[in-house]
Amino acid sequence: MSELKIAFQGEMGAYSQIACEKLFPGSQIVACPTFEETFRTAYQNENCKIVIPIENSLAGRVADIHYLLPKYKLQIYAEHFQTVEHNLLVKEKTELKDIKYIRSHAQAIDQCQKIIQKHKFKTIISADTAGSAKDLSKGDDKSIAAIASTLSAKIYKLKVLIKNIEDENNNVTRFLIMGKNINQPTFEKNKKYITSCIFRLKSIPAALYKCLGGFATNQVNLTKLESFSVKNTFDQTNFYLDLEGHIEDTRVQKALEELGFHTQSLNILGVYEASSFRQKK
């Protein structure tokens, strides 16, 4: 059997890598430059799983993921909630008074506005947090700092000048663990599950109202419902949906049957155990 590979999008040191190491300690971890390549890696290799951020508690959904889900139709095996802790990274001999510029991903910069405004730092937008740390390590400019993880500091030999510089301490990213093959857990009544799907409605009046009625009548709770446009059109919309329950539960089956009656397409993306993090909310 081939060795299991775990792929993520970004540079080594990214928060996604931290999630990978926590979920799959000791596994071979592969960094991919784009989300598209990350999905393609798992699509072409059944021995590869990917760890993908889908939403953040402060910044909302991650761009592009919703379009890649129906394109590659990978299966969701599990979910993971990762606390994000931003840090101010600098070259070894740099002090706070030397810094004039902050480099990082746009979301990280948005989430650290208090320290940026306090010190009147100018911002430089980069593709990702770990990439910012990597770029910083290559130069000698003491006027530039990066916002990234402590893992990035370790990998790129940078100094953590200030820890936990995020404005809010409840900064959490939800990750999905995905792969090519269908792998659903056996239904047990004493466990909590999430079923995820993407659907496209028929273009008729009240289609959304009618399809959601099945969840109400069968007492199935929806934890997430998001719409996103079908590419190259302005008149078609896909919906991403998370519901509480297992597809083998009779109530869920009836609700999905009602949903299917009002849709052009319905793809079940996965059935998996709900993270214990949900119980803390």
Residue with tokens 């319905």: 266
In percent, the amount of the chain with pLDDT more than 90 equals: 80
- Percent composition of the chain: helix, strand, coil (DSSP 3-state, to 5): 30, 35, 35
What mean pLDDT comes out for the span 65-76? 93
Are 5-84+172-179 and 193-280 equal in CATH topology? no
Percent of the chain having pLDDT more than 70?
Answer: 97
- Nearest CA to 84 out of 19, 159, 7 is that of 19
Report pLDDT for 1.
44
pLDDT digits (tens, 9 = 90+) for 253-267: 999 999 999 899 999
Q: Which numeric CATH code is attached to 87-162?
A: 3.40.190.10
For residue 236, is pLDDT > 80?
no
Mean pLDDT score of the chain, rounded to an integer? 93
DSSP assigned state of 195: E
pLDDT of residue 231: 66
Domain ranges of the chain: 5-84+172-179, 87-162, 193-280
> At residue 281, does pLDDT exceed 60?
no
Q: pLDDT tens, 3-27?
A: 789 999 999 999 999 999 999 999 9
- 75 neighbors 196 (Cβ within 8 angstroms): no
User: Which carries the bigger pLDDT value, residue 165 or residue 61?
Assistant: 165
pTM equals 0.92
Pick the CATH number of 193-280 from 3.40.366.10, 3.40.50.2300, 3.30.70.260, 3.30.70.980: 3.30.70.260
What fold is seen in the domain 5-84+172-179?
Answer: D-Maltodextrin-Binding Protein; domain 2 (3.40.190)
pLDDT (tens digit, 9 = 90+) per residue, 21-33? 999 999 999 999 9
Please tell me the predicted confidence (pLDDT) of residue 279: 81
pLDDT digits (tens, 9 = 90+) for 73-117: 999 999 999 999 999 999 999 999 999 999 999 989 999 999 999
Q: Please choose, from the candidates 112, 88, 107, 87, the residue with its C-alpha nearest in 3D space to the C-alpha of residue 98.
A: 88
